[in-house]
Structure 1
């Protein structure tokens, strides 16, 4: 462009820029002083390549005193000069030809159809372009973020994905807006960010011509508005549709007679057929009747299969006061919830009268609001709190002060001399962090030939695996992920140099699929074995079997409870080593009568201890987040009323959804003159150690995941604890000094209503995933598999039936090819099948996103002061066909807006949840890629997404029954649409849900509309078509002879008439 000249005396050019000066700068520039000044500045950019010329122009204007000029003014000035400035004098007044001439100036002279990519070839090697296009393939029908790179009278050229992208296309002026516009400049400006949809990609001379459209796309969210497009299409059809004269009744009668006699054909009078169809259009469509398929596979023939798993009640404690109280729940929590709801309604009654969310508030919504309120108040209350100093001892000194240190020599000797070993130690004794280090320090993990193998340690919870690995890496002095690492689902933080590896028990179970003998490991420690998760129970058997094949493998089982004899007996009567704890005497106090409201009694006990007992912190065991949030707020209000007349009470909650800054405070020493109360779930029984606790309040309940026969699935419900759990809880009061444990139940309830030990998870939950894993390992004889506590035969048969209906098992009970693929995924079988089926239905990208979004807890939030605005913003993302597609909309819009934190705040979306979903999606995508699955997108064909979900979650379906609401198809349980669902109030006939949420009633969580025929088409082993197909024969069909009312007769009536 150095040969390019600029005519600064061109009248049209001067007039156009002068008008911009007057419009934007409010300065009269009739003598063109400012205009010519800007033109001279533009001249200085002519030696710059076209893509960078605007940036250079902005820099020069700023350097010459124009830093205060509006950005829009500079953009429009530059655009005006570019469009009106001639490359050759004769084309000065023909901008379109000017554009064409610039294209023709290129060496390779592309055709007019290649305009959209003409700038991609300037000053860039061709291999860069091909690499960019290969790495980021574009798809017709998809929406992309773009940046306006050039404006012409006939449209705008838009760079896709980034301002410097080599992929660009043309958005014609007719495709910029749903309404007619006269000038592109009225709507767009250079460098403006827009959302566009690709409508066409044409390959021409090894280049792409990309056609774009902005019509029907919400420029705030980047989502397509189907209603806008539908209305536009509807209008055009309505205009073109000719008006037809309707046939009169005599005409219709005459034509029918002629047709009946055979004189004329119905094809000769299509308008008659149309009117017949119109006449009967008020009839309901033929109903598809869906029923369960009773057919059993061969391997279940003759089996008395009772489709009901053992519930916690019929394998655990007898009926009594504790069971009744658990079923009833806390009256305080209910009253508190109702009071808060009443306050909210009162405060917002003017603007939110018609808001259905105020009629039914979900547990999650309410808990989120309470949590946010509490955290806000908690932070304010902490401003003047000065916690005591955390120990400043060197790490090695801290290690030596742990109770396990005195047992180091004995432990090392026992590990060296035994293949199996059971270690019993109190929580906080150091067994989780120190034993693996002793093994490494003594080089027990080295083979005879000097090869170093991995020391593995399993944890029942992912948070524990991550936090312990972090602590041990600090003690060893290495970066996390190098010598010490962890592996949890969707997060592998290890390397080739990792020697000590912490992991969830489920991840080690998955490793056994490919390495049954555990050849990579020298020692495997099953930590917290007393929790008896399904994965730990399966590992007991798998590791015993692996040790028989691999004599060099050592297995250590650690427990915080005294059920070590059972573990020892299972592992060939191996030795038991007991680590002495820092235990002090604990006084146990029972209630004389059963407490009818355990939560109210617990909070009364906190206040009583705080006001009357000597110094010492308090630990309260509650069942979950809602109870903890409620308790925090109640205690906060009570202390607020008492004011400065009583010592300070620091209230600290502990559960997984809290920010780490709040959780970490429980470990900090309490300041002098104050007392802290920690409100925790059963995680504080064994998984975490809190110093300074002298008082424990134990209401006697816990939330347990168990099978619910009414729902036909596992659910979290409140149950009485076991005696072992009660003893663990009381022991928390005797770590720092003599303590007290207030048991809010009678001694009789402890002795007669509590079972000795917690029911293993393997005996109370669905085993489909576990049996899929075992079969993938080649273990088909489940009856002889060495479970420590075998599940019932019926439980395993039910799981086998589930896997069969998912097409994971064949008629003989062996894994199908689909079943083998499902076993590759670390998730429930239904979810694994959904992902695999997405490849067949060509919607993998969308399903990956939906699955990732379902894995996080809360996406939207509704702050009290902005509830109405939050609901309005949420409506932007609502999809008319369901919540799964709404989640897809949210994620796609977040990505289109650059994963912006500001965007999340503006739309009341949890950024933390979105980032977590992104991480999960990346991990799932890597699994799909690892196993060679093709990643495809269905574009706008959302039926493919709904069919894919139906293929995996067909059991989670319900039908709307007239005057009864919804009932699940599998169990016929009454369920309801939640008010937060985008389908609330629409009541479609058949829906699919992700899970059931139990609050005041059973709510379906994440619901999507489905077609009933998909159920028997995609899940023929579970559903079949019922008698509804016969109704087609009974449809009203007009006949023209015989009984005058014969056309009204149903099939049954005809039989009764002898016809």
Structure 2
């Protein structure tokens, strides 16, 4: 959203002013901890309960541990379990919903143990494994433990599984709950080493979790939440971006420069727009104002850039962090005194009736709002500015709707079937998805040839077993498996690897014209996939030269990650005895393969110039970032749909009608109601 690079309006919103009103609720505080690591550990609230907690956890098979923000549970509980000798029986796994949390927490615990990361303490996230045979404390994303469970459903390597940040309820987390619970029960039945399950969170529906894990005891830990003063707006804010901007500069002009600000927004484009505006305005402020360093934080940033939020600002300079809900979780960012909460979040929603999955902005839940507020009181007393009224807060849903109830379940069902779950329709979900959602996922997998139905029984096909070997969405796995038929395995592996990491292109908004000019030499009229492949080939040709990456606005860190991903996917292909070859310059073979693997995501040009997604018959448009934005190809396949003011297709390839019909003749004879394919 564009803003005038002029100083913000001289609007004051102190307690009781026209903009914000004060909420008198505060929370008890505690003193600052010492800077020394060992002293810091001893001064954490959890340390007082160490002996009692260790003894209790040693006795229990399952426990739900509620630790207030700042209690130290995330870093200390794994260490207490290790110190209690539990790791002698197996590895202690600590799962996190987000990779940035898994990496930073493993680094912190390794530092506290004075050990090199990857030895005693390590981490595993998708396409990155920093562990060794010595690793006993293993931080990992939920998805990685799920992948391990496919090869070892009883999780026999592990003595303990700590499910941290359980309240986030990502799709992987919810499936993992059922898998870990089943592994615990089966190990008991087979007289194997017992599996200990510890579920941890700062906020959750305690009764639901305790009941699900066989009436597990609930243990409460006191936190170290310092007092937080909360302000609400007096009136609803129709433009939360503008309200956030005004709030940032009001605080900046009045608060000491050592007090940093954390702002919660919804997504990359919004954050980059706000960052640009903040930097422009900061240049025009009077000299009496301290300098400001604006740092962005969202999932598609490379890990090295994400970790910049942990670095202190230069002396006399204020750090302003603009973040998505990635900053809500257990990681502490030092120096945060102020939190500005837009009250909004971006979330995926899937309509099983139409088959449409879209990303849309919605209100946060109360649990999310309190998580955000808690970021201001981790080290000292703080302030939270909520950009909504108190009555709007009262109307928020108490808890976030679990992802499993609002997303496409095709990947989940494929994983469950690969795990050998005999009846996926009746899997022990904590929150059971609708039967319509499960049926829709089974239909999609059936279309891809991953499952087959005989009467009411659904079983995995030979192709489905191979698809489950890849840590990818089913359609990408299918595309790779088809690639030898089109003699383009190397190219398809490259494209899927590019799509599996965060964006490989860097698009600084201030240099838009320069970016467009540089990209023209790579642009292919055949679509975004071929364009990205061309950029990747050029990157490899110069051996990943950093200067070349800077000149061409290519994210060198993510491109290097693409090579690692490709190497791992190639390894899986070799295990499956797939023939790996290149089609050279013949991109028609690549597009034909994409059409066969991604035909469910096909769209057709209409006489009025719009597009219709053939699966859902939803009106869609080509995203402005696509190289095909100015073109009007008759048929395309796309990666995903993004819903903003319109429903946009992202990452497209031009395909022929004949290829789609060839890929799934029966499917297209049903779907093409108005087409002359």
TM-score computed with the length of structure 1 as normaliser: 0.57
Give, in angstroms, the shift of residue 964 of structure 1: 3.1
Cα distance, 1:489 vs. partner?
1.3
1:462 aligns with 2:99: yes
Counterpart residue number, 2:409: 767
> Please, which moves more after superposition, 622-631 or 714-723?
622-631
Are the equivalent residues in 1 in contact too, given 2:409–2:441 (CA < 8 A)? Answer: yes
Residues 978 and 721 of structure 1: CA distance in aligned 2, closer, same or farther (over 3 Å): closer
Alpha-carbon shift at residue 422 of structure 1 (Å): 1.0
Match 1:498 to one of 135, 146, 149: 135
Q: Which of residues 71, 79, 91 is equivalent to 1:437?
A: 79
Match of 2:168 among 508, 527, 531: 531
Determine the structure 1 residue equivalent to 2:17.
Answer: none
Q: 2-side partners of 1:821 and 1:756: how far apart? A: 41
Which residue of 422, 434, 444 maps to 1:802?
Answer: 444
Q: Is the 8 A contact 2:298 2:323 kept in 1?
A: yes
Stretches of structure 1 lacking an aligned partner (at least 5 in a row)? 1-332, 341-389, 448-452, 1033-1059
**2:636 is the counterpart of 1:991:** yes
Q: Measure, in 2, the Cα distance between the counterparts of 1:716 and 1:858.
A: 17
Matching residue within 159, 173, 180 for 1:543: 180
Please show how residues 809-888 of structure 1 align to structure 2 within 5 Å: 809-812=451-454, 813-861=458-506, 870-888=515-533
Report the CA distance between 1:554 and its aligned residue.
0.4
- How far 1:733 sits from its partner (Å)? 2.9
1:524–1:555 CA contact under 8 A, matched in 2:
yes
The Cα of 1:984 is off from its aligned counterpart by 4.2
Change (3 A) 1:873 1:442: same
Contact 2:302 2:558 in 1 (8 A): no
Is 2:561 the partner of 1:916? Answer: yes
CA pair 670-580 structure 1, distance change in 2 beyond 3 A: farther
Could you say which residue in structure 1 is the equivalent of 2:191?
none
Query: How far 1:739 moved relative to its partner?
Result: 3.4
Are 2:470 and 2:477, in contact at CA under 8 Å, matched by a contact in 1? yes
The answer to which of 471-480 and 829-838 deviates more is 471-480
CA distance in 1, matches of 2:316, 2:627: 52
State whether residues 414 and 421 of structure 1, in contact with CA within 8 Å, keep that contact through their aligned partners in structure 2: no
Structure 2 CA distance for partners of 1:608 and 1:413, relative to 1, 3 Å: same
* Structure 1 residue 687 corresponds to structure 2 residue 324: no
Secondary structure of the 2:596 match is helix
Q: Work out which of the two has the higher radius of gyration on C-alpha atoms and give 1 or 2.
A: 1
Q: CA deviation at 1:694?
A: 3.5
Counterparts of 1:218-229 in structure 2 under 5 Å? none
In 1: Cα distance, 2:210 partner to 2:247 partner: 40
What does the per-residue CA deviation read over 1:221-280, in whole Å, with 9 as the maximum and x for residues that have no partner? xxxxxxxxxxxxxxxxxxxxxxxxxxxxxxxxxxxxxxxxxxxxxxxxxxxxxxxxxxxx
Deviates more, 1:901-910 or 1:985-994: 901-910
* Residues 19-71 of structure 1: CA deviation (Å, up to 9, x unaligned): xxxxxxxxxxxxxxxxxxxxxxxxxxxxxxxxxxxxxxxxxxxxxxxxxxxxx
Alpha carbons 1:427, 1:689 under 8 Å: kept:
no
In structure 2, do the counterparts of structure 1 residues 698 and 950 end up closer, same or farther at CA, with 3 Å as the change threshold?
Answer: same
How far off is 1:407 after superposition? 1.7
Structure 1 residues 828 and 617, CA gap change in structure 2 (3 angstroms): same
Residues 597-996 of structure 1 aligned to structure 2 (within 5 Å): 597-612=239-254, 616-658=259-301, 663-664=306-307, 666-667=309-310, 675-707=318-350, 712-752=355-395, 754-812=396-454, 813-861=458-506, 870-996=515-641
**Structure number with higher relative contact order (C-alpha < 8 Å, ≥ 6 residues apart):** 2
Shift in Å, 1:720: 0.4
Give RMSD over aligned pairs: 3.0
Contact 2:163 2:200 in 1 (8 A): yes
Aligned-pair distance for 1:483?
Answer: 2.2
1:868 Cα offset (Å): 5.7
Q: Note the C-alpha offset of 1:935.
A: 1.4
Report the CA distance shift for 1:785/1:648 in structure 2 as closer, same or farther (over 3 A). Answer: same
Contact 1:455/1:523 (<8 A) preserved: yes
Task: Indicate the residue corresponding to 1:408 in structure 2.
Answer: 50
Cα deviation, residue 729, structure 1: 2.1
TM-score, with structure 2 as normaliser: 0.87
CA shift for structure 1 position 941: 4.0
Superposed CA deviations along residues 445-476 of structure 1, whole A, max 9, x for unmatched, are 234xxxxx111111111122122222222222
Q: How does 1:55-204 map to 2 (within 5 A)?
A: none
Are residues 1:474 and 2:111 paired? Answer: yes
8 A contact 2:69–2:224 mirrored in 1: no
Whole-angstrom distance in 1 between the partners of 2:353 and 2:124: 36
Q: Deviations over 1:800-849 (max 9, x none)?
A: 11111111111322111111111111111111111111133332111101
User: How many Å separate the matches in 2 of 1:978 and 1:750?
Assistant: 34
Could you give the per-residue CA deviations for residues 695-715 of structure 1, whole angstroms, max 9, x where no partner exists? Answer: 332221111122267984333
Q: Distance in 2 between matches of 1:838 and 1:865?
A: 40
**1:721 to partner: Cα distance:** 0.7
Q: Once the 2 structures are TM-superposed, how far is the Cα of residue 607 of structure 1 from its aligned partner?
A: 2.8
Answer yes or no: is the 8 Å Cα contact 2:491–2:533 preserved in 1.
yes
Structure 1 residue 877: Cα displacement: 2.8
Distance 1:978 1:710, change over 3 A: farther
Distance (Å, rounded) in 1 between the aligned partners of 2:251 and 2:154: 54
* Residue pair 1:862, 1:871 contacting (<8 A) in 2 also: no
How far apart in 2 are the matches of 1:401 and 1:951? 59
Structure 2 counterpart SS, 1:811: strand
Contact 1:588–1:742 (Cα < 8 Å) also in 2: yes
Q: Distance in 1 between matches of 2:504 and 2:312?
A: 35
Match of 1:644, SS state, is coil
Aligned partner of 2:203 among 551, 557, 561: 561
Conservation of the 8 A alpha-carbon contact between 2:522 and 2:535:
yes
Cα offset for 1:751?
1.8
* CA distance in 2: counterparts of 1:981 and 1:884, whole angstroms: 10
Measured after TM superposition, the shift of residue 656 of structure 1 is: 4.0
Distance (Å, rounded) in 2 between the aligned partners of 1:463 and 1:843:
34
Distance 1:732 1:861 in 2: 29
* Deviations 1:115-138, CA, capped at 9 Å, x for gaps: xxxxxxxxxxxxxxxxxxxxxxxx
Deviation at 1:799? 0.7
Task: Tell me how far apart the structure 1 counterparts of residues 464 and 591 of structure 2 sit (CA, whole Å).
Answer: 22
How far is 1:667 from its partner? 3.9
